[in-house]
Amino acid sequence: MGRILIAIDGPAGAGKSTAARLLAERLGYTYIDTGAMYRALTLLVIRNNIHWENEKKIIPLFEKQKITQKGEKTFIDDENVSTEIRTNRVSRAVSIVCRHPEVRKRMVELQRELAQSAGIVMDGRDIGTVVLRNAELKLFLTASEEARAKRRMKDLEALGKPLPLAEVQQNIRNRDRLDSTRKIAPLKQADDAIVVDNTDLPIDEEIEMLVRMAKDKEIEHNGNR
Ligand code: DC
């Protein structure tokens, strides 16, 4: 069967990571979480006491330390930072750090290197529009703002760092605004993306639907080769 590239984009809390991970598992593909890569860089910015707006001081971090993904884990050099990158401290800063043009250029290069062979599910904000413009299947996942805030609140509870719903919703709203209005690679649906609104869609039904779409595309891709 011809393996394909799958791009998943959408706003904060739309369930992209969960869907991407489960879809990759079902297809035997590799999952790449690009948001985690921007979060790891943001963690480095915070740890080094660099101002979020100071792109000149942020860029050398790419040379100093290595951000990688192995399975679902995110590493800075050999340190597993998968939990720490989910804290609110990082969530508040990441949308500023990821706006810088050179930061995005470097990240896109890293992400394309990771996706050199097919059989990839990659999620983020600009995957279908920039990083993997050639992806055979592009999905844009979304849900109501309230549903998205409730999901993020549960994630934070599971991390042992609970926050009130209103605060989580405010963070999501701010990030969506910053992510959608930035000049470079804003959050936006690709013209050829399929929109999936999962506000009232149970996760198992959503995954079945995505697996069917992916398998159809695999067959189509096989025929085109
Ligand atoms: O998916 P997430 O919430 O972990 O992403 C964290 C932030 O990173 C998000 O606010 C926007 C940014 N991001 C981006 O600009 N481009 C991507 N491809 C992925 C994430």
Query: Is residue 125 a contact partner of residue 189, using CB atoms and an 8 Å limit?
Result: no
Q: Across the chain, what does the average pLDDT equal? A: 94
pLDDT per residue as tens digits for the range 151-184 = 999 988 998 989 999 999 999 999 999 999 999 9
Distance 225 CA to ligand 1 centre (A): 33
- Give the domain extent around 58: 5-223
Q: To the nearest whole percent, how much of the chain has pLDDT over 70?
A: 99
Cα dist from 185 to 55, 98, 121, 182, whole Å: 17, 10, 19, 7
Pocket of ligand 1 (CB under 6 A): 12, 34-35, 38-39, 94-95, 98, 124-127, 175, 179
Give the chain's domain count. Answer: 1
- pLDDT at 56 (0 to 100): 97
Q: What confidence category does residue 225 fall into, taking pLDDT thresholds of 50, 70 and 90? A: low
Residue 126 near residue 133 (C-beta atoms within 8 A)? no
Residue 1 banded pLDDT, cuts 50, 70, 90 = low
In ligand 1, the atom with minimum distance to the C-alpha of 95 is: 10
CATH number of domain containing 165? 3.40.50.300
Q: What count of other Cβ atoms lies within 10 Å of the Cβ of residue 10? A: 26
Q: Whose CA is nearest to atom 10 of ligand 1?
A: 95
